[in-house]
Amino acid sequence: GRIVHLADYRPTDFVLERVDLTFELDPTETKVEARLIFHRREGVDAKAPLVLDGDDLTMTSLLFDQIEMDPARYTATPESLVIRDLPESTPFEITVVTMINPEANTQLMGLYRSNGIYCTQCEAEGFRRITYFPDRPDVLAVYTINIIADKAANPLLLSNGNFLGGAGFGPDKHFAAWFDPHPKPSYLFALVAGDLGVVEDTFTTMSGREVALKIYVEHGKEPRAAYAMDALKRSMKWDEEVFGREYDLDIFMIVAVSDFNMGAMENKGLNIFNDKYVLADPETATDQDYANIEAIIAHEYFHNWTGNRITCRDWFQLCLKEGLTVYRDHEFSADMRSRSVKRIAEVRHLRSEQFPEDAGPLAHPVRPTTYREINNFYTTTVYEKGSEVTRMIATILGRDDFKKGIDLYFERHDGDASTVEDFIKCFEDASGRDLKQFSLWYHQAGTPQITVSSTYDASAKTLSLSLEQMIPATPGQSTKEPMHIPLRFALISENGSESTASAIAGGTVSGDVLHLTERAQTFTFAGIGSRPVVSLNRGFSAPVTLHFAQSNDDLIHIARHDSDLFARWQAITDISLPILTSAAKTAQAGGAIEVEPAFIDALLAVAADEALEPAFRAQALSLPSEADVARELGGNNDPDAIHAGRQAVLSAIAKAGTEVFRTLYAAHAANGAFSPDAAGAGKRALKNSALSFLSIAEDTPALAAAAYAKADNMTDLSQALTILAHRFPEADETKAALATFEARFAANPLVLDKWFTIQATIPGADALIRVKSLMQSANFAPTNPNRVRSLIGTFAFSNPTGFNRADGAGYAFYAEQILAIDPRNPQLAACLLTALRSWRLLEPVRAEHARKALESIAASDALSTDVRDIVERVLK
């Protein structure tokens, strides 16, 4: 594919006025008739042809104003339709008929069939696989859709907007017509047809309109959609209360399908979901599943305003809808659950996914300026860092001005295809502030590194805080400008009281936010009576890495006293990371690992502190991951040593804390009635963390086997199974539990995904053999993205010792898989391939094996653009 540059943006030559589509559905020969009305944009050259996008299309007829078009006036290839000699200014109608094969569509882009259900996925450029079209987000039009299909197989015929009507059509068929009054880009088009069950409800909006809510799932699975429905209603209410946004159609539909490349899709009025993010009940869903469903239902619903009503001018602006919508779903979950615990989880995710992306060969700005394959830019940088950038605007402006700015954005740009600049301008206009320097966050890639030092002068009663920012070089950006970095802070006195206010020199501090704007800056606080402990970047107000050599005593002080729970968790992390890195180094050198008792005591004190919410205590006990340690080490990494070091630290904690864990486990083991809410989930997390440590301390599968036997919900069941499989892979108890799990959930592929994942992530070199043999299992389906991700994907992304076997066999296997998946489903293949992006951080022997595997992929001459783009950037 050719490279697309932001600088080349220009509007289309022709304006699309309206769209009428008629689908005659057939599993292998679907006929699509598109009637498109255009006019030439004012000022455009009268000779300019109309150029429509296509992808793999076969055209069977083309009419111009209802009359067959002279073949001399057009050129049709599978990739485009170019029409010449068009009217200078009057509107005209093009009627194109294309034939498509939904059954053969294994890419899952465009119109495809999954488990007998016709469905579509058009973002980013899938609509052009349905018909020739100006397939870009700045072309907004009103759509009318007619669907004709076999009645028995497809009682349900759905599309965007409001239902117009339907009737029989010949002996075996019927049709339905839908009209969406809201102009939209083609990527938001959707169609679903098939035979599904439904859960129905209603929502009355703030202005008193009643909206019909429908969630469609496979027959028999209706009860498992109840939580999704509840989450939807809470999302609708929350968006009215917090952002003043009301829903705008008579009906809102969600359809769950089992073959889907990502989580879900925000098509106007007709969201299509990966069934993994709809279906839940206590027997089959973990607490994490419930939390994901709540967040993703909300995310897609929130897109109705941030994405659909206001869409993107071009795909470079993706963060305009994605970063903002992630910010909105984060805020929603924070309001529904525990704000601090949610923040900790967000930061863990950002650090484990986005930081490595930003530090490696795939790094790109939140608002990129060039791409070869847009599907490769649905990244954690665009989504999660994009959300953090929005959060920083809120931090800098404060609550009221942020609200004014976002209200202005909704008012000024409703119905527009907008840009990041438009968005920032609204906050500038609403607040009177200049966000020019701040906007570098959209343009400069790389995680800012901030070095901090503090000095207290007792006689002058001053505290000086020196900060220096460094933004690492990233592909295409060798030098960087200093950024505006808002750091929330507190000065914590010896007795634990907090302050921010005092006379300050050296920079701007507003309330509890310190604004770092220069490359190096020293803030001096006057009138400080005794040496305080500095708590910096509280709530993770900026997505940066701090290098602040605080003493363990200071960190323990923060961990004990900070009123910001996030900061307390961060302090615990800052104490544990060096312990884990040094344990890894000791393991590599073959030495004996010792863990400082003071650290263990502090950790156990948090675990046992009944004043703290259980979910927070569980987060504290969940030490930085092996990937976190690898990142901290920063190079020459030996995953086996990192694993061994971390295990030794866990053992030391388990041994020293056996009594604490026994008490915790006993206190929380009695299962009350199951509730999927945050409080219930927190208790289960703490209990299972205690179980895990106890199993280490006692070094027997008995406890986990007993927990497995009596588990009455999927969280407890899968946690017990994980402990068994990961700690005692060869034990009879483990074999028995794996077998009963498989038998019990044989009819439930989403649950078997957990079974695949648990086994694919058993540490050690044997994981590869397990993965290979599980691929032969009757329950594995190489064409289903959820199966592939849960077995092959988690092996690469979440099993550092297994995937990074020293002999390189893990990489070689993975390369074969990528090459096998790519011809069927390039997006899935490209996404899996990113697991190898940090290969240069490995020790030389493994790095060399990884390079060879990557080169074996690059050597194929049949690669998709998606995989070609990733493999070349990763090798560069």
Classify strands 270-274 and 251-257 as parallel, antiparallel or unpaired: parallel
* 203: three-class secondary structure by DSSP: strand
Write down the least CB distance from residue 640 to ligand B3K, Å.
35
- Between 296 and 487, CB nearer to ligand B3K: 296
Question: 435 is written with which tokens?
Answer: 């966000």
As annotated, the active-site residues are 300
Q: Which does 626 bind (CB under 5 to 8 A by kind): Zn ion, ligand B3K, none?
A: none
Q: Which does 378 bind (CB under 5 to 8 A by kind): Zn ion, ligand B3K, none?
A: ligand B3K
Query: What one-letter code names the amino acid at 591?
Result: G
Question: 388 is written with which tokens?
Answer: 């953090």
Contact call for residue 866 and ligand B3K (CB under 6 A): no
- Between 303 and 385, CB nearer to ligand B3K: 303
Contact call for residue 180 and ligand B3K (CB under 6 A): no
Provide, for the chain, the percentages of residues in helix, strand and coil under a 3-state DSSP scheme, each rounded to the nearest 5. Answer: 45, 20, 30
Contact call for residue 300 and ligand B3K (CB under 6 A): yes
Q: Which does 755 bind (CB under 5 to 8 A by kind): ligand B3K, Zn ion, none?
A: none
Residue nearest to ligand B3K (CB): 123
Write down the least CB distance from residue 123 to ligand B3K, Å.
4
Q: Which does 128 bind (CB under 5 to 8 A by kind): ligand B3K, Zn ion, none?
A: none
What's the angle, vertex CA 441, arms to CA 477 and CA 338, rounded to 5? Answer: 135
- Between 307 and 356, CB nearer to ligand B3K: 307
Core vs surface per residue 132-144: b (16+ CB within 10 A) or e = bbbbbbbbbbbbb
Task: Pick the piece of the chain touching Zn ion (CB under 5 A) from 317-325, 359-367, 572-580, 793-801.
Answer: 317-325
Closest CA to 639 of 788, 845, 793: 845
Contact call for residue 322 and ligand B3K (CB under 6 A): yes
Write down the least CB distance from residue 830 to ligand B3K, Å.
10
Question: 28 is written with which tokens?
Answer: 């292998």
Contact call for residue 265 and ligand B3K (CB under 6 A): yes
DSSP, res 761: T
**Helices marked H in 110-192 — which ranges?**
none
For tokens 């900060």, name the residue.
467
Q: What are phi and psi of 305, to 5 degrees?
A: -95, -45
Instruction: Report the distance separating Cα 765 and Cα 157, nearest Å.
Output: 49
Among 20, 53, 180, 266, binds ligand B3K (CB under 6 A): 266
Scanning residues 361 to 390, which ones bind ligand B3K (CB under 6 A)? 375, 378
**What is the length of the chain?**
876
- Between 300 and 716, CB nearer to ligand B3K: 300
Contact call for residue 262 and ligand B3K (CB under 6 A): yes
Contact call for residue 351 and ligand B3K (CB under 6 A): no
Query: What one-letter code names the amino acid at 607?
Result: A
Among 123, 289, 346, 640, binds ligand B3K (CB under 6 A): 123
Contact call for residue 394 and ligand B3K (CB under 6 A): no
Interface pattern 277-316 for Zn ion (x via CB under 5 A):
----------------------------------------
Q: Which does 262 bind (CB under 5 to 8 A by kind): ligand B3K, Zn ion, none?
A: ligand B3K
DSSP E strands in 69-132: the ranges are 74-77, 80-83, 92-100, 110-114, 117-121
Question: 284 is written with which tokens?
Answer: 């089959």
Interface pattern 575-604 for ligand B3K (x via CB under 6 A):
------------------------------
Write down the least CB distance from residue 321 to ligand B3K, Å.
7
Among 174, 299, 328, 631, binds ligand B3K (CB under 6 A): 299
- Between 303 and 515, CB nearer to ligand B3K: 303
**Helices marked H in 244-337 — which ranges?**
287-302, 318-336
CA dihedral 542, 548, 551, 557 (to 10 degrees): -20
Q: Which does 265 bind (CB under 5 to 8 A by kind): ligand B3K, Zn ion, none?
A: ligand B3K
Instruction: Report the distance separating Cα 539 and Cα 347, nearest Å.
Output: 9
Task: List own/partner pairs for 406-412 with CB under 8 A and 24 or more apart.
Answer: 406/243, 407/244, 409/310, 410/243, 410/244, 410/245, 410/305, 410/309, 410/310
Contact call for residue 338 and ligand B3K (CB under 6 A): no
Max CA separation in the chain (angstroms): 95
Q: How far is CA 334 from the centre of its chain?
A: 16
- Between 388 and 562, CB nearer to Zn ion: 388
Which residues in this chain contact Zn ion in the complex, by CB under 5 A?
Answer: 322, 325
Residues in touch with ligand B3K (CB under 6 A):
123-124, 262, 264-266, 299-300, 303, 322, 375, 378
